[in-house]
Structure 1
Amino acid sequence: MHTLYKISFLSFVSFFYVNTLFAGQALIEKVIAECNHKRVCKFDVTIRHADEGWEHFANGWKIYSSTGEVLGYRALAHPHVNEQPFTRSIRNVKIPPSIDTVILRANDSVHGESDRKYVIKLKFTDY
């Protein structure tokens, strides 16, 4: 029984540490990518952030290649204090032929780019 308490305590500490580590940063929760045969994509990105107003809010997100090249950027022009999580889109993102997986990272006005990344494998239509 004593071992069970240790495991529970360690699980709690790990959960608390990870959540504290990323506290305040914008988090990408979901991405839907629609890509055509010309390798042009639309991304619908759902972000969660504890927006506090103009002083601290999620202010954008970027799409990267695996080598760090910025393929797209979506600015967010205002706080979403009472709208969490929220989804915004970017269209006409051109994906080079050598790329089939992209990385997305959210930004906020205080912490800058989040340490958390969202990786998605793209599927392109045949028509």
Structure 2
Amino acid sequence: MRNIFALVMCGFLLMASSPLVAGEADVIDVRVVKVDADVYRFTVTVRHDDEGWDHYADRWDILDMEGNNLGSRVLLHPHVDEQPFTRSMTLSLPMQVRKVLVRAHDKVHGTGGAEMVVIVPQ
């Protein structure tokens, strides 16, 4: 039993000291407002355990349902003390786009966290 406990504790300590502890960036909320004929304001909330300049959520993307990138909001600094955080972007979309995928990106893992599909208001 002691050996199992020691193994579990070693694994925990290794994970805690790993640069991958922060995990992937997750999109946890998206609001879309139509501001003109084909122009929309996206307000996106991201959660990521930013650790500093080497590991932080550095952007979020808006993609059509075929995977084409329609726009990205670049995040220029870590948000260590502001989690989750919300940022906005105004974007012109092709008229045929009815749904989009919103995903976040971090400097270590790239994409891969929670994503959201949202309907574009008409």
Assess if the C-alpha contact under 8 Å between 2:25 and 2:113 holds in 1: no
> What is the match of residue 62 of structure 1?
61
> What is the match of residue 75 of structure 2?
76
* Unpaired stretches in structure 1, ≥5 consecutive residues: 1-22
Could you say what secondary structure the match of 2:89 adopts? strand
TM-score, reference length from structure 1: 0.75
1:29 equivalent to 2:28? Answer yes
Of 87, 102, 105 in structure 2, the residue corresponding to residue 104 of structure 1 is 102
Paired residues in the alignment total: 101
- Letter of the 1:95 partner, please give it: L
* Unpaired stretches in structure 2, ≥5 consecutive residues: 1-21
- Letter of the 1:87 partner, please give it: T
Q: CA deviation at 1:115?
A: 4.4
Residues 80-100 of structure 1: CA deviation (Å, up to 9, x unaligned): 001000000111x11112111
Could you say what secondary structure the match of 2:101 adopts? strand
Residues 61-97 of structure 1: CA deviation (Å, up to 9, x unaligned): 1000001111110000000001000000111x11112
TM-score, reference length from structure 2: 0.78
Assess if the C-alpha contact under 8 Å between 2:23 and 2:109 holds in 1: yes
- Letter of the 1:112 partner, please give it: G
User: How far apart, in 1, do the equivalents of 2:82 and 2:66 lie?
Assistant: 33
- Letter of the 1:59 partner, please give it: D
Q: CA deviation at 1:30?
A: 0.4
- Letter of the 2:83 partner, please give it: Q
User: How far apart, in 2, do the equivalents of 1:37 and 1:90 lie?
Assistant: 14
Large movers: runs of 4+ above 6 Å: none
| Identity over aligned pairs, percent | 43
User: How far apart, in 2, do the equivalents of 1:40 and 1:102 lie?
Assistant: 14
RMSD: 1.2
